[in-house]
A and B are shown apart, each in its own frame.
Chain A
Amino acid sequence: MNSALNPHGARVNVGPGPRFDLCDIGHSDYVAVIQADSAFWTLAPRNQAASFLLGEELAQAFSSHQDRLQAEMQALRFGLKPSAVYFNPTERCNLNCHYCYLPEDMRRSGADMPVADVFRALEILAGYFQTDQQAGVFLPQIIFHGSEPMLRQDVIFAAIEKFGQHFRFGIQTNATLLDDGALDFIREHNVSLGISLDAHLAALHDRTRQTWGRKSVFGQVTEVLKKLTGYANYSVICTVTQANVGHLTNIIEFFHGVGVDMALLNPVRCTQPGGRQLKPEDHELAQRFIKALDRTWELYQETGRKLVIANFANILLAIAAPTARRLMCDISPCGGGRCFLALAANGDLFPCSEFIGLPEFKGGNVFQDDLPEVLDSVAFRPVTTRKVEDFEPCGSCAIRHFCGSPCPAEVYTTTGTMAAPAPYCAFYIEQARYAFRVLADNRLDDFLWQGWNEGAEKIFSL
């Protein structure tokens, strides 16, 4: 057998040598070999795993790339500045979704941000991004979020027109207030649209997403989806709960059938009691989620048209191209308070929308405090400094940088501490194992959007 010495004479897994974990990914031919700190990975044939792990090829491949790989992870995890704000123009919502992360009294009868304050807040944010960011390199993002931001259609559309030179804009909406005029405006201004839809049937959708008077909105939302055919800049969010977890494959078929090309299957956050009550069991979730992913692949083979499941695509990118990822929940520290922050309707600032119902995480107020001080506030720090290395079992988990142990808000409210694994730990393990199986079968491109690697270079290949 070859000696497992790297150029510095260090042996694998002892002394100063690199640490590699060997992981069963559930594939008939391959196992994963992972150097967790740098998110370095290779796949080795099962019957060669021991000799590969202890041989020269792995040690040399890693040692010749580790500085760059670790520097990249350091920059991704600790070197970014905020580039997006989740902006809540109202506390109110016209729906009463059982799992919402915002408290019920706020959604039922909360306040609106005054029109003048919406514009003033955007002026403040534009000023912050011009001074603290790489002005001119890219446009920061404002996502009108809620509650239901389209209850304030007049003011947010006026803001999009006024601040189009300062920001890219998105709207996360339940779609019930998107009439033809609103859709025309959204298309004309190329606003990114996120639409919430949890089912393929009204009866199922009504179990979690209805009006306060318990009226169904499923028909309205599906009509909007049909009208969005051909618009490239929208995606659908399906929140996965006990109610719909058994129907994910049907939901995928429905989304694909109405022309959706990008969707998220987000397990319900457990931050608030309503979400916790609807949490699907991890192993059932993993099984159903993977079947749904398999179905998207089959549909692609059958039709040539992809339905990308973006939260899974992000895990694939976390493995294959960490700096190409889009979503910053599945990394530690998460994006809350460091890549984005949330602005409540009263001007209060939180690391992420998930924290708006948790007053101890208020870092300040956009009208009263300087944003850099808010970002460095005592309230934000538990989120912005939460690292998987600091607690077990995450600290010694091979996939810790392909998971991130999200989300700090739900970890905090379910365990009373940030230093604990994700409520969906078992699910995230299965998701990562499936991602490695996709890689083992050379199907990476089939699960990612066209052009995902534009501007990217391959910096390591074995």
Chain B
Amino acid sequence: MGKHNQRYEAQITSREPKPFGFRYSCGLNGDNTGLAHYILLDKKNS
């Protein structure tokens, strides 16, 4: 069991179930939404 799994287990065992939700937003200038399920060109920062 790796360190990532230990982190995950610690998170879920310490949390009492309660309602939650969230949403992120980013700019919609069209530079990231031109693709179909064929190829990913999302390494725009590389």
Contacts and interface: CB of A to CB of B under 8 A. Distances in A.
Interface in A322-345: 322-329, 334-336, 339-340
A276 to B, nearest CB: 17
B41 to A, nearest CB: 4
Of listed B20, B33, B36, residue having the most chain A CB within 10 A: B36
Decide if the interface of chain A is mainly helix, strand, loop or mixed. Answer: mixed
A416 interface: no
Contacts, number: 200
B33 A455 contact: no
A264 B41 CA distance: 13
Contacts of B5: 301
Interface in B2-46: 2-5, 8, 11-12, 15, 17-46
Contact of A326 (B15, B19, B32): B32
Decide if the interface of chain B is mainly helix, strand, loop or mixed. Answer: loop
Given A137-B31, A264-B37, A451 B26 contact: no
A310 interface: yes
B38 A232 contact: no
A68 B46 CA distance: 31
A310 B28 CA distance: 20
A301 B8 contact: yes
Interface of A: 29-30, 33, 39-45, 48, 52, 57-58, 61, 65, 68-69, 72, 75-76, 79-84, 86, 133-134, 137-141, 143, 145, 168, 170-172, 190, 192-194, 232-233, 235, 237, 262, 264, 266, 300-304, 310-311, 320-329, 334-336, 339-340, 352-354, 441-443, 446, 449, 451, 453-462
Q: Closest 6 A-B residue pairs measured CB to CB?
A: A84-B34, A42-B21, A138-B31, A194-B39, A321-B24, A83-B34
